[in-house]
Amino acid sequence: MGLIEQHSKHAALSDTELVEASLTDLEAFGELVRRHQDFVYGAALRIVRNPVVAQDLAQETFVRAHRALPGFRGQAQVRSWLYRIATNLALNAVQRRREYPTDAVPDRPTWIDPAYDAENLALRKELEEAIKQLPPKLRTPLVLREYEGLSYQAIADQLDLPINTVRTRILRARRSLRERMEAWR
């Protein structure tokens, strides 16, 4: 069987079937990587904010996932499982090397008032710090909703949680941020 036929054979499998097949078939794992590499990279990039580091973390995510395949029980969706591995690796990388989340302000028009710009940067740093301080069970659904733009149902599916739990966690995260950012109102 040629590589193209092998790829199309694997393309028809579900993620769970690919995990099972990956235990003995590296091409099946390659299909899992192809399906989820952009998602995993994006998850890491949002945390470390460094494309090179995010790429390394995405690769490490798949290395660890491959090693952990025999222990995957299917209790969570494959995408959720990979997301957890990627975000844990990225958070660990940030804790080890504080410079990854960039303090650099993205390109902006030069006509902005410097006082306004400095205040805006301070607000953004305070908000990022407040988000980092949230417990992961509140931070993850909030980030998926606010930064990823995912629906509550998509978040529930991805994190393998009931939709009402997702809504409650996002509500609690927003309340916590509102309290922490009160001085900025």
Condensed to tens digits (0 to 9), the pLDDT of residues 41-68 reads 988 888 888 888 899 999 999 999 999 9
pTM (global) more than 0.85: no
CA dist 40 → 52, 55, 94, 178 (Å) = 14, 9, 16, 29
Range from 3-12, 15-24, 41-50, 161-170 carrying the lowest mean pLDDT: 3-12
The mean pLDDT value for 151-172 works out to 89
| Same domain flag for 84 and 133 | no
- Distance in angstroms (rounded) separating the CA atoms of residues 63 and 179: 40
| Same domain flag for 172 and 152 | yes
| Same domain flag for 88 and 120 | no
Outline where DSSP puts E strands in the chain. none
| Same domain flag for 70 and 121 | no
| Same domain flag for 7 and 98 | yes
> Whole domain around residue 17: which residue ranges?
1-102
Of 102, 121, 149, which closes a domain?
102
| Same domain flag for 2 and 89 | yes
The mean pLDDT value for 161-171 works out to 92
